[in-house]
A = this chain, B = another copy of it.
Amino acid sequence: MKTYLDCLPCYLNQALRAAKMAGANPEVSYKIMSDTAAFIPQLNMKASPAENGTKVYQIVFDETGESDPYHAIKRQHIDDALAILPELEAIVEDSDDPLLTAIRIAVAGNIIDLGIPDKINLVEDVRKILKQDFALFDYKQFCERLDKASSVLYLGDNSGESVFDTILIKALKKPVVYAVREHPIINDVTYDEAVLSGLDKVAEIVSSGTSAPGTILHLCSNEFIDRFNKADMIISKGQGNYEGLSGETNPVFFLLKAKCKPIANDLGVHPGDIVLKSLV
């Protein structure tokens, strides 16, 4: 997916948010905003938003020395999600189609605001999301591909959402390799957060080799690219991974909520829609 004009204001919003998270003072925050603005005319509009966005977080690191501004919030989101995990597992067990319910819960992890402190409301929110219709729903192809696959490569997205991923991974009933970012970027799941989320108990955790906030293949390690190209089936969570992989030809299933206009336009859906889309 290319970078849209609507993505450009978003870079400044992201820079401001990351500067605040990194505890930057007003002068440093101004420098971060200024450098991000100056970068915009130079970015490659044919590259994905996630690839261009990497530079924003590099600027924040250069100016603050903080390599993981979202560290505390990632831990909080994981704790919030773990607190409701038993209830979510019960929902799957009680359902007529546990695989589909697990898919819905995995996409719910991409939707809900895990910052909500009230455990009961969080479960209620998930229950509401479980009733939302998919705008794109390649479930039949998903089941067929899963049936034939000897293993699944699962591309993680955010921390906290990663706890929800354990539920879908169990429901797949296949060996799963769970890919995380090599270095911290925004609130994306890295090895440490994956372990805290319990993913080491249900999957083999590997790094994609990149610190981009998405799976941008040419920025990934050769080892990961080889694994990606040989995978029987790939489940790709969230926008950042979609942005990097929408132009590939591998057996990828995108599972995400379209949170912004550029992504929604690119998918042919509306902002707020949820999607299970087969790439091939």
Interface flag for A8 (CB, 8 Å): yes
- Contact at B6–A9, with CB atoms within 8 Å? no
Q: In whole angstroms, what is the CA distance A35 to B8 when docked?
A: 12
* A13 contacts the other chain (CB 8 A): yes
- Do most interface residues of chain A lie in helix, strand or loop, or is the interface mixed? helix
Instruction: Mark the stretch among A37-45, A203-211, A215-223 that contacts chain B.
Output: A37-45
Q: Are A33 and B8 in contact (CB under 8 A)?
A: yes
A166 at the interface (CB under 8 A from B): no
The one of B8, B16, B41 in contact with A6, judged by C-beta atoms closer than 8 angstroms, is B16
8 Å CB interface, A1-36 against B? 5-6, 8-10, 12-13, 16, 19, 26, 29-30, 33-35
Q: What number of A residues sit within 8 Å (CB to CB) of B?
A: 20
Please, which residues of chain B bring their CB within 8 A of the CB of A37? 8, 37-38, 40-41
Known A-B contacts A8-B37, A37-B40, A38-B38; the reply to A45 vs B30 at CB < 8 A is: yes
Binary CB contact string for chain A from 41 to 64 against chain B (1 if under 8 A, 0 otherwise): 100010000000000000000000
* Complex contacts, A5 vs chain B, CB 8 Å: 16, 19, 26, 29-30, 33
Q: In the complex, which residue of chain B has the Cβ closest to the Cβ of A41?
A: B34
Contact of A33 among B13, B26, B35, B40 (CB under 8 A): B40
For the complex, what is the distance from the CA of A94 to the CA of B45, rounded to whole Å?
58
A38 to B19 CA separation, bound complex (whole angstroms): 20
* Nearest CB on B from A279, distance (A): 26
Which B residues touch A45, using CB under 8 A? 30
Q: Show the binding face of A for B, using Cβ within 8 Å.
A: 5-6, 8-10, 12-13, 16, 19, 26, 29-30, 33-35, 37-38, 40-41, 45
Task: Report 18 cross-chain contacts, Cβ distance below 8 Å, ordered by A residue.
Answer: A5-B26, A5-B29, A5-B30, A5-B33, A8-B37, A9-B9, A9-B10, A9-B12, A9-B16, A12-B12, A12-B40, A30-B45, A34-B40, A34-B41, A37-B38, A37-B41, A38-B40, A38-B41
- 9 residue pairs, one from A and one from B, having the closest CB atoms: A37-B40, A9-B12, A34-B41, A9-B9, A9-B13, A37-B37, A38-B41, A8-B33, A8-B12
Other than A5-B30, A37-B38, give 17 A-B pairs with Cβ distance below 8 A: A5-B16, A5-B19, A5-B29, A5-B33, A8-B12, A9-B9, A9-B10, A9-B12, A9-B16, A33-B40, A35-B41, A37-B37, A37-B40, A37-B41, A38-B38, A38-B40, A38-B41
